[in-house]
Amino acid sequence: MNQEQETSGGCLCGAVRFRITGTLRQIVACHCGQCQRSHGNFAAFSACDRDRIVFDEKRGLKWFDSSDKARRGFCGECGSSLFWEPTFDGYTSVSAGSLDNSGDLRLVRHIYTCDKPDWYEITDGHEQFEGSMYGRET
């Protein structure tokens, strides 16, 4: 129904620019220790099928294998954290903050709350998972 929809995004300096066709998943906040380190706090990610991302600029795009299950994409020039890609599935998580216009997307869920540090509380009433949300799709 939304096949004409296109969402653009990129890093802070412009060395990574991309467009995504079609709808994006609602936003999930990941509180895991790896996201805390790479984002500076919890990470808010939308997501889409990997093959729906088209890069208009990718000279800055670098990948870091953050575990045997996933890699993280970031801009090597400005340091923006942009993507999370599992090795076991065909989707890419896209940092909500990298989107030029997040439109109708809303935060709907918290995951890996077991790793949440003590300096903030989750008080928005959205559902929380101590681990991942696999088996649960928006």
Residues at the site binding Zn ion, with contacts judged by CB under 5 A? 11, 13, 15, 60, 75, 77-78
13, 68, 72, 128, 138 from 106: Cα distances, Å: 25, 30, 22, 15, 11
* H or E segment to which residue 58 belongs: none
| Closer of 15 and 24 to Zn ion (Cβ) | 15
Tokens 């995951």 found at: 111
Minimum Å gap between C-beta 103 and Zn ion is: 23
Minimum Å gap between C-beta 30 and Zn ion is: 22
| Closer of 15 and 48 to Zn ion (Cβ) | 15
| Closer of 60 and 73 to Zn ion (Cβ) | 60
Question: What three-state secondary structure class fits 45?
Answer: strand
